[in-house]
Amino acid sequence: MIVAIDGPSGSGKSSIARAIAESCDLTFLDTGAMYRSVAAECLRAGVDPEDAEAVAEVARAIDIRFGASEAGQTVHANGRDVTREIRTPEVELAVSPVSATPAVREVMVALQRKVGESADVVAEGRDIGTVVYPAADVKVFLTASPEARARRRAVQRSGGNLAENPEAMADADEQAKILADLKRRDDYDSSREASPLRPADDAVTIDSSDLTFEQVIDKICSLNADLAARRKDA
């Protein structure tokens, strides 16, 4: 079984995909972390994220491994623990041009498809249902207003979690900065030449702006009887 969850940055794709993986016994494939790992390695090596040829070389040579800890999933790139590093504002700025590089996407898509060939997977990203797994059993385009997404990301960076505490607040200035960054990335991702951000023709769009975490999971699981049964039996 393949569950594909696409959507813009800050829409909650990773958290939702991780929760579905845990409750339905699927492998969670964080494709965003893969592109972020390439971006982090570019910054570490002093490679300009806009230099397509140099970025492609980094992608072809990178070794990305996912692990687990008490705090959740870990990510290692070329032997380095980059779990926290890939969520920094610096990587956030670098990942758009890196992920827009066709050669990088070619390498990452090949790795992602390989995982899907040997496991039941829930994957999140921007081209999962359109490019990586076009025959996915479940396709969702998860979105939310830029303002809702900025609040979630700001709360997350301050150490909070809206899924656990819907009333959590964040610094207003930080939230405004994140909002501007999200709008910039939305424009970049939706207009890029290689695998632009868009819903698959057969994807179900879910706007999570005013939905709780559990409500989003319920909506996704209700789209497929086998997925719903897996969750019921878990």
Q: How many helices (H) and strands (E) does the chain have?
A: 9, 8
Q: Is 203 helix (H, G, I), strand (E, B) or coil?
A: coil
The residues near 168 (Cβ < 8 Å, ≥ 6 apart) are: 155, 160, 161, 162
- What's the confidence (pLDDT) of residue 162? 78
Topology of domain 1-26+121-234, CATH: Rossmann fold (3.40.50)
The residues near 55 (Cβ < 8 Å, ≥ 6 apart) are: 38, 42, 47, 48, 49, 97, 98, 101, 103, 104
- What's the confidence (pLDDT) of residue 84? 94
Give the mean model confidence (pLDDT) for residues 100-113.
94
- 177: pLDDT strictly greater than 80: yes
The amino acid at residue 221 is C
Q: Which CATH architecture has domain 30-119?
A: 3-Layer(aba) Sandwich (3.40)
Mean pLDDT of the chain: 91
Q: What is the token pair recorded at 91? A: 């990587």
- 234: pLDDT strictly greater than 80: no
Distances (CA, A) of 80 to 16, 31, 174, 197: 26, 18, 28, 29
- What's the confidence (pLDDT) of residue 233? 58
Sign of the torsion formed by the C-alpha atoms of 187, 21, 153 and 103: negative
Give the mean model confidence (pLDDT) for residues 12-21.
91
What band does 165 get if pLDDT is binned at 50, 70 and 90?
confident
Q: Where in the chain is the domain with CATH 3.40.50.300?
A: 1-26+121-234, 30-119
Say how far apart CA 162 and CA 164 lie, in whole Å.
Answer: 5
pLDDT in tens, 32-46: 899 999 999 999 999
- What's the confidence (pLDDT) of residue 36? 96
